[in-house]
Homo-oligomer: A and B are copies of this chain.
Amino acid sequence: METEARTMSVAGNSSPRDPDKIAEIFRAAARIFNTKGFHATSINEIADAVHLTKAGLYYYIQGKQDLLYRIMDYAMDALEGEVIQPAESIADPEERLRAIVAGHANLITQAGVHELTILVNELEGLSPEQRRQITERQAHYVDLVRETIDTLKARGRVHDVDSTVGAFGLLGMILWVPRWFDAKGRLSSQEVADQLTELALRGLLREPA
């Protein structure tokens, strides 16, 4: 029934909708979802933000929940492209861990990246199947961090810490940043990213001496 237009697209583009407009909607929705929360945001607010009526907005989206899912999926794409894949190509585990922390911290401190925050705060707004898909992708990321720590552990390069606690401790530091960091404040995003990287790695790694 509803699969016809979206999954088939029979030969040729099935959806001629303006990709720029869709991107604008995504950005506006991500900003408002992140500010007020998914459930507290009405479709009308998003429509207003992109200068459309609710019905006009529905020309571009399939529903409120689907909009959320697509934003989160896009955010996972960004995280994979900017952090995960670059890190996976680094063989040395210490360098790799440093690349993950620095890369993720850099990404999350940049202005306007509301998708990454939604990615961890609005999971309960998804359907069970959608949530499963997103959390599965997130789990791969956590596994990468945990395995990197385990590799370092096997080489005696880290203190005696459970790799799960280490991975989530590290991620907690980074994912908490949007709650307090102000891009217009005293510290630059680069400074925060650098300091967090040092803080996290110093907590984990042994002194090379």
Q: Name A's B-contacting residues (CB within 8 A).
A: 35-37, 39-40, 120-121, 124-125, 159, 161-162, 164-166, 168-177, 179-181, 186-187, 191-192, 195-196, 198-200, 202-204, 207
Contact = CB atoms under 8 A, between A and B. Distances in A.
A168 B173 CA distance: 8
**Dominant secondary structure of chain A at its interface with chain B:** helix
A168 B187 contact: no
A179 B120 contact: yes
Given A165-B199, A169-B199, A202-B203, A176 B175 contact: yes
9 contacts: A36-B124, A162-B195, A164-B180, A165-B187, A168-B180, A169-B195, A169-B200, A199-B204, A200-B203
